[in-house]
Structure 1
Amino acid sequence: MTPRRALLGGLAGLVLAAALPVARADAVDALRSFARDVRSGSADFTQTVTAPDGVRKKQSSGRFEFSRPNRFRFAYTKPFEQLIVADGQKVWIYDADLNQASSRRIAQALGATPAALLAGGSLEQDFTLAAQPDRDGLAWVQAVPKSTDAGIRAIRVGFRAGQLAALEITDGFGQRSRLDFSNFTANPNLPAERFRFTLPPGADLLEQ
């Protein structure tokens, strides 16, 4: 599971520096508003995973949907099909090529993860938030898991005009994963069936 200036000199630089705290506070407020007001959402995504050496990269794409609390669906379509579904009780991962699925209780699988950040219900209970400098035309906020068992060093969320645009994850090994979202829709009416997983015929199931 996917990677995200210089201040002007003189008087212009002083003005910009004075304005930055307000802009950064807006990014934190945008994440808080997202967690509070956006109860469901859907978007296309492209995920780029960069190895710790900063050179090797892998890219995939698909569709993301969520409904609070703790229901989400990542449907990867390229370069291969994979489905990750949380139904509020369990998280299911299905690999179409292997025709194999695995499941875990959501309390074990979610924790302080990117999925919990986007679709969970306890933002500031699980994360410490800090505004970051604007980059790539986005306002960024960093969310550091409070749990030392999360396996994630930091998560950064990017907003464009208050709308979710990107998510960057750095894990404990230095691997970076970035998801860029497009065609985001806030609060769509998503049927409960979207977050239910039915084991395909003949598929193997590994329960943890």
Structure 2
Amino acid sequence: MNKAVSVYFVSALATAGTAMTAANAAVELDTTGSTTGKNNAHEAVSAHDAAQVNATANTSQLKASSLINDSASTSLQALLSEMKQFRASFAQTVVDAQQNVVHEAQGTLTMTRPNKLRWETTFPDDTLLVADGEAVWNVDTFVEQVTVLSQDNAIKDNPIVLLTSTDEATWSKFSISQMSTGISADNSASNAKNDTALQSYQITPKEEGGQIATLTLTFNQDNELASLNMLDAQQQVSTLVFRNIETRFPVPADTFSVDIPDSFIIDDQR
């Protein structure tokens, strides 16, 4: 069980525990009819004090949780703010809930802040997806069709939006936790000294019902995005591992535009 999941269960158990304590105090008051008025008054005061303690504890837990989330959010924003440009090759693996591999792909991801992204696959098929800041263009060369969506509507509940967004209102829609630092080790003996410390952040939409349940971003020792992991609503996990990472490069004018052949069908859903 990872740290983020553990924190969730600890918080849930703590909340359930304080609720049970208050309920028990109420039951005790209701079942002490044979006690004297003085004892009843004393118990009432004790229950009142217990309720105040529980309320204070719950408030403290909420404040602590908020501070942890704010700290992780600030830390992640600082990392991404340095990633004004990003280009890398990727290998993608998608597994289902039974850990069966259902899809594999290879390609290149290019991003610039704010709000622009270009996703190209070269295996198993040639595909292209471009987010130009206003619209998302999904080009399927196999069926010769381009689907166009409003970018705001397409990714409004998807935590992937935080990779390129600088908008505080957008960030406020997600809960962010910093996960335990891990170690990425090369399996080859010759590279045994190149073990690298990693830092990861788990992002969860505050509003339920979206397609992506959680997004985990992992950064290497150079504070570069090394991998991302997405758990979707169908319990499928998509993992992208990045190689040949660049964060400073010239951006051609047509990087985030789409040249559509005349023979292609355009399905504009904006």
Supply the AA of the counterpart residue of 2:176.
Answer: L
Q: Which residue of 2 aligns with 1:152?
A: 212
Shift of the alpha carbon at 1:189?
2.6
- 1:196, 1:81 → 2: CA distance? 17
Question: Larger radius of gyration, structure 1 or 2?
Answer: 2
Matched residues in 2 for 1:200 and 1:84: separation?
15
Aligned to 2:230: 169
Contact 1:111–1:150 (8 Å) recurs in 2: no
**Aligned residues between the structures:** 186
**Secondary structure, counterpart of 1:34 in structure 2:** helix
2:143 is aligned to 98
Q: Secondary structure at the match of 2:107?
A: strand
TM-score by length of 2: 0.63
**What is the aligned partner in structure 1 of residue 87 from structure 2?**
42
CA offsets 1:112-141 (integer angstroms, 9 cap, x no match): 325412222236323211011234623211
Counterpart residue number, 1:203: 264
SS in 1 for 2:240: strand
Q: Which residue among 99, 123, 127 is the counterpart of 2:174?
A: 127
Describe the SS at the equivalent of 2:156. coil
Aligned-partner Cα distance in 1 for 2:125–2:79: 30
**Letter of the aligned partner of 1:98 in structure 2?**
V
Match of 2:253 in 1: 192
- Unaligned 5+ runs, structure 2: 4-69, 185-197
Conservation of the 8 A alpha-carbon contact between 1:46 and 1:62: yes
- Compute the displacement of 1:30 (Å): 5.6
Cα deviation, 1:53-104, whole Å, max 9, x if unaligned, reads: 2123321010100111111000111010110001111000011111111010
Structure 2 distance, partners of 1:132, 1:94, is 36
Counterpart position of 2:35: none
The corresponding residue for 1:141 is 201
Q: Is the 8 A contact 1:112 1:146 kept in 2?
A: no
1:143–1:156 Cα contact (<8 Å) kept:
yes
More strand by share: 1
Distance change >3 Å, CA 173–CA 57, structure 1 → 2: same
The whole-number CA distance in structure 2 between the counterparts of 1:202 and 1:92 is: 16
Whose helix fraction is larger, Structure 1's or Structure 2's? 2
TM-score for the superposition, normalised by structure 1: 0.81
Letter in 2 for 1:174: Q
Identity, % of aligned positions: 26
Q: Is the CA contact (8 Å cut-off) linking 1:43 and 1:183 kept in structure 2?
A: yes
Query: Which residue of structure 2 lines up, in the alignment, with residue 116 of structure 1?
Result: 161
Tell me the distance in 2 between the aligned counterparts of 1:207 and 1:154: 29
For 1:194, what is the secondary structure of its paired residue? coil
**Secondary structure in 1 matching 2:231:** strand
RMSD: 2.4
Range that drifts further, 105-114 or 129-138: 129-138
Question: Counterparts of 1:66-85 in structure 2 under 5 Å?
Answer: 66-85=111-130
Residue 135 to residue 181, structure 1, CA distance change in 2 (3 Å): same
